[in-house]
Structure 1
Amino acid sequence: MKLAILSDSHDHIPNLRRAISRAREAGARVCFHCGDLISPFMVPVLAEFPGPVHLILGNNRGDPHLLEKQVARFENVHFHGEFAFLEEGGLSIAMVHYPELARGFAATGDYDLVLCGHTHVYKVLRVGRTLVINPGEILGKEGAPTFVLYDTESGEVERVELEG
């Protein structure tokens, strides 16, 4: 099963829409957004993904109350607050916005994948048995917008760059 991993969209509707479309075309079944979605008006765009979407907060929170109210309108979008701890595709997954905390979660050995964001820079590293994935940014501030497709069967990590 393929997972789409996104982060740091910072209210950039066109890039988020393109990422969702590319993830759908690639056959992703579940989408994770690792924080800094920011505004409630971004949720309907995120909800265009045809499967479950898991969303956490980042350091640019917008209005969490309004975000939560908007998420409630969509059955496929799940708002987890600061952290998420999930089982998908036979994997134990933790989500947190900050890479420092992600490395800490990974060091416990309790998770197969730990997903994070914040730096706007793509990075994949292994901490013990755990793979830590930062997909880069959807915003496109630090370069081309990127997200990750992760294959739960092969363990392949594919960095997807959105063209302008």
Structure 2
Amino acid sequence: MRVGIVSDTHDDLAAVEAAVALFDREGVDAVVHCGDFVAPFSVTPFDGVGDGPDGGVDFYAVRGNNDGEWAVQSTVELFGTYLGEAGTLSFGCGAGGGSAGGADAVNVAVTHGTSGVVVDALVDCGDYDYVFHGHTHAHGVEERDGTVRVNPGGLPIPVDGADDAFRVAILDVGADADGAAGADAVTHHELDL
């Protein structure tokens, strides 16, 4: 199973469309947006990920600190699952794909990342295999005591430490991971805008 991870798209439709195109090419089974869509019009293109004979992919999103329009929630809920300020997911790798528990499932916590204290607490509590977050616009992956913190990155912004290009990430879970686990199962992709 492959999970696309994206954050901080900030109404940039070129970035959203580039992420959707990459996730389609890479054949992801689910997409997690770590917040900061900003307005509902930049949510709807994600409904097209994986549109084909078998239908679309599972879509999950959390609220970011710049998601000022509350209609973002209702727009996500038209085709996906809105997790609010934070949520947990379990991605399995059974024959049916999708989100499911099981012996080979990975447990994921998702938050926007506005509070570094909260992100660190989620990583350090030991309850999750992965913690996804955004907010900093700086991609990264870090493994601590068996939990992997993943920030896919975001649009480039003029802030110290932020990425100079738009990036997203893909997590390969289970059989799709080709033996990779933990931080090695995460791949960041730089997208041309």
TM-score, normalization by structure 2? 0.79
CA distance in 2, matches of 1:22, 1:40: 21
What SS does the corresponding residue of 1:57 show, helix, strand or coil?
coil
The Cα offsets for residues 47-93 of structure 1, whole Å up to 9 and x where unpaired, read as 112201110011112212x122222322xx11111001111121111
Q: Is the 8 A contact 2:18 2:192 kept in 1?
A: no
2:123 corresponds to which of 86, 93, 106 = 106
Larger radius of gyration: 2
TM-score by length of 1: 0.92
The CA RMSD over aligned residues, in Å, is 1.3
Give the length in aligned residue pairs: 160
Highest RCO, 1 vs 2 (Cα 8 Å, sep ≥ 6): 1
| Separation in 1, partners of 2:7, 2:43 | 13
Give me the whole-angstrom Cα distance separating, in 1, the residues matched to 2:77 and 2:86.
18
Structure 1: gaps spanning 5 or more residues: none
- Pairing of 1:44-63 with structure 2 (within 5 A): 44-49=44-49, 50-63=56-69
| Unpaired segments ≥5 residues, structure 2 | 50-55, 93-104, 158-162, 175-179
2:108 counterpart of 1:93? yes
Deviation at 1:28, TM superposition (A): 1.0
2:142 aligned counterpart, secondary structure? strand
Aligned to 1:126: 143
Residues 11-160 of structure 1 mapped to structure 2, 5 A cutoff: 11-49=11-49, 50-64=56-70, 66-74=71-79, 77-89=80-92, 90-98=105-113, 100=116, 101-137=118-154, 139-141=155-157, 142-153=163-174, 154-155=180-181, 156-160=185-189
